[in-house]
Structure 1
Amino acid sequence: MAQLQLLPPHDEAHTAGATSEALRQEVTAHCGDDATAWAVQTSAGLCPDGQDALPELVALSVAYRLHRGTGLPASVIAEAESLVRTQVERGCDLAHGLGLIRSAHGRIASAVLAACARIEDPDERTAAMTGTASLVFDAVDELSRVVSDRFAAERERWLAGPAAEQRAVVLSLVRGESVDVERAARKLCYDLRQNHVALVMWAERGSGAQELQKTATRLLNRLGCRSTLLVPMGGDGLWAWGLRPNGDAEELAPLLAADPAVQVAVGLPGAGLAGFRTSHEQAMAAAQLGLRSATNARVHTYRELELGALLARDEQAAADFVCRELGGLGDDSPSAGALRATLKCYLDHDRSVATVAQRLHIAKNTVLYRIKRAEQVRGRPLGDNRLQLHTALYLAETFGVSRPAVQPDVAPAVRTA
């Protein structure tokens, strides 16, 4: 529809989508890149806890209806059903979901009508406003009916299943509520008195809960766990624990080779009920850090990320620290990245040029050049605040040098209980 041409992206900065990539690609195929980017950016930030998938789905539905003038495609319906399932399993009620839809409707309608108001011809402007307002309402109304109908079915299914009771017990344990440990252990069929290691796992939407559980079992078996506890968190997330671990988390990465959509965070082993809770908290912290990480790692261990967890509790302060200490080295460019990597390796290995050359597969003269150039770009001698410099390089390597940004919506497994 012509009105859609009035809705270019209002912000050239990249905003990560909250819905599935497959859905966004389908909308792009039907409506174009601008329409999808507009939908993602217009709906971003509506939910205070960053769970923007449902508002984004509203915006994508509107973009599709404006462009195609027809009912919602099967992919939108399927995505809505998946989101409802996740909302139900998180304990949200229907009012919460419909409230998000209403908030999204208000913002989207305002954005559409504001774009129409820029049409110079009065008759065309009136026709555009009338036509788009009707189409926006139809899209939101259809999506609201899908959500309402599916919510009732999913709620009934969830309340009737044993998973709900198991999840309630686990939530009480990780929240530190007063519980009868023996009774909880019987309900979970899991010994809470032993040593535990906790995993937090998530996958791209639609990957399948059963496949995620199979992967979790393989990972815990590799860690040598004699018994496991698997708790689905939404359709695409999982909390897991294993008893008496004796393996190394570094051995887990090869097991994910066949599951490119899956990521896992691993806590440190802990004893008893306190260890059950602490290992899970560590896995959650590692998961959240992994989502912010500048690397492409799919296994995030608290052991490796603990320093980052401690240093970056105040994300904005950490970003300011990196910017201040690195100076020009903090630029988000390939050349600055190469200088940072070389300098960090140099400091990691006690300023051994030979070791840096060997590890980075570059000539010694290249190492010397980059170190000298890094000092020039930073604008200060390397010996000036060396500890702070090394720390800033670590943070830049772990989280990147861009300013903190809104993260895409992920499986509820990665959100606090």
Structure 2
Amino acid sequence: MVWSDEPSRIAQLAELFSQQLDAVGAEIVEAIVESLPLLGNDPAIRAELLMLTMWNVRSFLAAARSDDDPSTIVVPPETKLMARTLVHRGLEPEVAYEGCRIAEHIIWKRWLELSAGTVAPAELASVLRRSHAAISWFSTELLHQAIEAMREEQVQIAGGDLSRRIKMVRLLLDGVQLDDDMVSRSLRYDVRREHTALVIWADSGVRPGVLRSVGLSLARAIGAPVPLMIAAAADVLWMWIATPTADEASGLAGIAVDLVDAPVRVAIGPTSPGVDGFRRSHDRALAVHRMTAIDPDGARVLTHRELEVAALASSDEGSAHDFVLSTLGGLAEDTPLCERLRETLRVYLDMAENAPRASEQLHTHRNTVLQRVARATEILGYPPGERRLAVTLALELRRRLHTFR
């Protein structure tokens, strides 16, 4: 089966389609997340899903543009990495099936729209028949390889130590009541102690073992035993450090600032006791990760204490988004000017409306700070001091929420 014996209409469509690639990738991911909310709640999986979607569509379009036989298209190896991530999260192959079905539907819908607007009526039927056959073949092959990789990974870890540890951690995080002594023996990690959960990730690819090395270094730096570590995705590690009391972990954030270098980043939850603390600290670390993973230029080490209010307010992102818009109005717009004014106002309020101190933080002149604050106030339509708490929170949420990215 070939695309065409003549200059291919499909190749031309592929070229046009590639110009919409970013929008198509975002649409596919949003549709998958809406159908499978568990994936969207985890920024690590969401990021992998977007990268995988872009890789797969690019592979298909490259073959289409060069008139390759679709049976020779190579499914990107990243498909198997994503499959292993899904298995390690305790998900079944049905998730891969649903994701492929949604992606194929959106690609075919977009392809139809392009075809109707660019292909001559006399050629449309034959072009669509060949297009549909090629898209269906690629989607089927992609699904086959993803499910095969998931099955292989399930077989590899089934009944093994890794499988037991992953299942045990999942049960703890789901709130299942288990015997503390039995869990501690199984995990080789004392769940009866104080726990500090971390999410360690990289903004770009790192060598295997780098994230674990960072985690072990942090645990050793505070004199803690070997931490519990679970690979959440290719570039994301979940970790728990157990200490006899909360005091031993109190300096962890400061130590992490000195130890963690780009591209590695760390989100640190609060130190909490027992199994409930194991779960609570992890939930808080995940909340920090969700808020900060979308900002590659953000701080390398972030704690829940620093972002606690914003994390709490953003637990319902739809409502938080609306709150930002209603509080900031035009100041929430995505323009370089508004971004500069928001940052100046945020620092100004954080410095108790002290212009000299704010100018030091912003490395600009005091008069510049006052001018920007005056302009921001004009856009707001009211003095920020009148609604200080609301404005401060809205400014922080505007920096953090991925709905504004």
Tell me which interval the TM-score lies in, with the shorter structure as reference length. Answer: 0.7 to 0.9
Q: Is the 8 A contact 1:36 1:63 kept in 2?
A: no
Counterpart pick for 1:367 among 369, 377, 397: 369
Task: Provide the residue aligned with 1:352 in structure 2.
Answer: 354
Deviates more, 1:167-176 or 1:208-217: 208-217
Per-residue displacement from partner, 1:20-40 (whole Å, max 9, x unpaired)?
xxxxxxxxxxxxx52633651
Looking at structure 1, the residues matched to 297 and 366 of structure 2 have their Cα atoms a distance apart, in angstroms, of 26
- State the TM-score, normalized to the length of structure 2: 0.83
Structure 1 length-normalised TM: 0.80
Is this contact kept in 1: 2:15–2:61, CA < 8 A?
Answer: no
Kindly report which structure 2 residues correspond to 1:58-77, keeping only aligned pairs within 5 A, or say none: 58-68=56-66, 69-70=68-69, 71=71, 76-77=75-76
1:164 deviation in Å? Answer: 0.5
Q: CA deviation at 1:132?
A: 1.4
Ranges in structure 1 where 5+ consecutive residues have no aligned partner? 11-32, 406-417
Deviates more, 1:282-291 or 1:197-206: 197-206
On the 8 A contact 1:209/1:237 being kept in 2, the answer is: no
Identity %: 29
Residue 67 of structure 1 and its aligned partner are, at CA, apart by 2.1
Q: Does the aligned pair in 2 maintain the 1:66–1:132 contact within 8 Å?
A: no
Counterpart selection for 2:288 from 272, 286, 289: 286
Q: Distance in 2 between matches of 1:340 and 1:37?
A: 28
Amino acid in the other structure paired with 1:6: L
Determine the structure 1 residue equivalent to 2:331.
329
**Structure 2: stretches of 5+ with no match in the other structure:** 1-7, 41-45, 244-248
**Whose helix fraction is larger, Structure 1's or Structure 2's?**
2
- CA–CA distance in 2 between the matches of 1:240 and 1:211? 14
1:213-292 equivalence runs, <5 A: 213-244=212-243, 245-257=249-261, 259-260=262-263, 262-292=264-294
How do 1:9-408 and structure 2 match up within 5 A? 34=19, 36-37=21-22, 39-41=24-26, 43-47=28-32, 48=35, 49=37, 50=40, 51=46, 52-53=49-50, 58-68=56-66, 69-70=68-69, 71=71, 76-119=75-118, 121-203=120-202, 207=206, 210-244=209-243, 245-257=249-261, 259-260=262-263, 262-292=264-294, 296-399=298-401, 403-404=403-404
Paired residue type of 2:142 = L
Output the CA distance in 1 between the equivalents of 2:295 and 2:147: 37
Q: 1:153 to 1:304 in 2, by over 3 A?
A: same
- For 1:335-362, what per-residue CA distance to the aligned partner results, in whole angstroms no more than 9, with x for missing partners? 2222222222222222222212222222
Distance apart, 1:2 and its partner CA: 3.7
Alpha-carbon deviation of 1:105? 2.2
Any idea what the Cα deviations from partners look like across 1:43-101, whole Å, max 9, x if unmatched? Answer: 23231223545665554443233223245665x43111111211222222233322322
Q: How big is the shift at 1:392? A: 2.2
State the structure with bigger RCO (CA 8 A, min sep 6), 1 or 2.
Answer: 1
Distance 2:400 2:86 in 1: 31
Q: For each residue in 1:186-236, what CA deviation from the matched residue of structure 2 results, as whole angstroms up to 9, or x when unmatched?
A: 111111222221112234686455332222212323344233111223443
Output one character per residue of 1:88-141: Cα deviation in whole Å (capped at 9) or x when no partner.
222222333223223322332233234223345333223321321222123223
Tell me by how many angstroms 1:268 deviates: 0.9
> CA 1:114–1:395 in 2, change beyond 3 Å: closer, same or farther?
closer
